[in-house]
Structure 1
Amino acid sequence: MAFWIFLAIVAGIIVYFIGIYNGLVALRERAEAAWSDIDVQLKRRHDLIPALVDTVKGYMDYEKSTLKEVIEARNQSQKATSLKEKADAEEHLSSALGHIFALAESYPELKANTTFLQLQQELSNIEEALQNARRYYNAVVRDYNAKIDSFPDMLIAKRYGFTPKEYFELEDAKAKEMPKIEL
């Protein structure tokens, strides 16, 4: 009888640790899927920028440096490999886009251009979707990192190579806010 009780306890412990492992795997996969959502929004943003630059180019003859800055920031963001590099590049890109919209105030014809207004609205929608995706990713990463640092989950996490994930954060407090686009 004692043997069966011992066997049931061992089986219970094994099932418990399997549950911990599966929970860690599920959180890791959710974090990777959430990062994929951010990546999709960033790609949409990057794809929109050439159309925006082309639309603005005809109106802003004297603002070539601003357009060049946006293009360079977009290229830098696309080349970024690590999460930190990506966050820094996206912060720079947000700032450069903000300059375009600020300069657009000086060009009434541009502000009235329907293509520009559509691109501006689409970019605003993408920024909102990106903010939501970033918030969700960071929440999943928070849960994942807390789980791999909690006892007894940390025993399984360390044994099977679960490592903490980085948050996707912007350093500049201004860049954390969605760019204000005034018409």
Structure 2
Amino acid sequence: MFGAVFWVILIGSLSVIALYLIGLYNSLVTLRNRFKNAFSQIEVQLKRRHDLIPNLVETAKAYMNHERGTLVAVTEARNVAAACLKLAAAEPGSARSIVQLGKDEGRLNTAMDNLNVSLEEYPDLQASEIMMQLNDEMTSTEDRIAYARQFFNDAVMEYNIFRQQFPTILMADAVGHGSDATLLVFEDSKQIQNAPTVSFT
């Protein structure tokens, strides 16, 4: 009698533990898939920007005879960022590819900022209908990129927090979730985040 009760309690306890561990594992998988899906939204918007940039450069070429270096820099930065995006899309959980994407997109942002400064010297170009449409498209795309990046980073944080919590951290490594996912921070935005503080005291 006592032996039967013992076995019932033991089997029941092991079943509860097994169900709990299965729940933890499924939660890790769900959260990882959520940030991977969020990255695919970034990918769509970055591809859209990469597709718009050649049209912008081509339109500017007709007006900006003395700014070839700026246009070449934008084109080169765009090509590097587009290649890096392909690598990052293949493995959005890789810290190396996400960090590199952030650097390359930051360099592209800097090149685009330089182009925008140069465009200010060409009012006829800015007033052209094609350039105005492209600028509207670029602005809309930049807003979407910012939103998609925030959504991705939120999903990454949710995954990392869950993975690091006890008792998940005890089993995460054993089931293929041994490292945190990496936030996507564009290199040029680090300068904004690290802006010096002004004190009048």
Secondary structure of the residue that 1:36 maps to in structure 2? Answer: helix
Q: State yes or no: 1:171 paired with 2:187.
A: yes
Q: How far 1:176 moved relative to its partner?
A: 5.9
- On the 8 A contact 1:31/1:140 being kept in 2, the answer is yes
1-structure distance, mates of 2:56, 2:189: 25
Deviation readout 1:43-102 (Å, 9 max, x if unpaired): 101000111111111011111011001000001112224112211110011111112222
Q: Percent identity?
A: 38
- Contact between 1:45 and 1:126, CA under 8 Å: does it hold in 2? yes
What corresponds to 2:18 in structure 1? Answer: 14
Gap runs ≥5 in structure 2: 88-96, 194-201
Per the alignment, residue 170 of structure 2 pairs with 155
SS at match of 2:187: coil
Query: Bigger CA drift: 57-66 or 74-83?
Result: 74-83
- TM-score normalised by L of structure 1: 0.91
3-state DSSP of counterpart to 1:172 = helix
Task: Tell whether the 8 Å contact from 1:48 to 1:123 is kept in structure 2 after alignment.
Answer: yes
With over 3 angstroms needed to count, the CA separation of the structure-2 counterparts of 1:33 and 1:13, relative to structure 1, is: same
- Aligned partner of 1:181 in structure 2 is none
Task: Please state how far the C-alpha of 1:125 moved relative to its aligned partner.
Answer: 0.7
Flag the 1:11–1:174 CA change in 2: closer, same or farther, 3 A. Answer: closer
1:13 counterpart letter in structure 2? I
RMSD (CA atoms): 1.6
The residue type paired with residue 164 of structure 2 is D
Cα distance in 2 for partners of 1:108, 1:31 equals: 43
- How far did residue 175 of structure 1 move? 6.9
Paired residues, number: 177
Asked whether 1:98 is paired with 2:113, we answer yes
Matched, 1:131 2:135: no
Please report how far the alpha carbon of residue 165 of structure 1 lies from its aligned counterpart in structure 2 after TM superposition.
1.2
Task: Compare CA radii of gyration and give the structure with the larger one.
Answer: 2
How far is 1:34 from its partner? 0.9
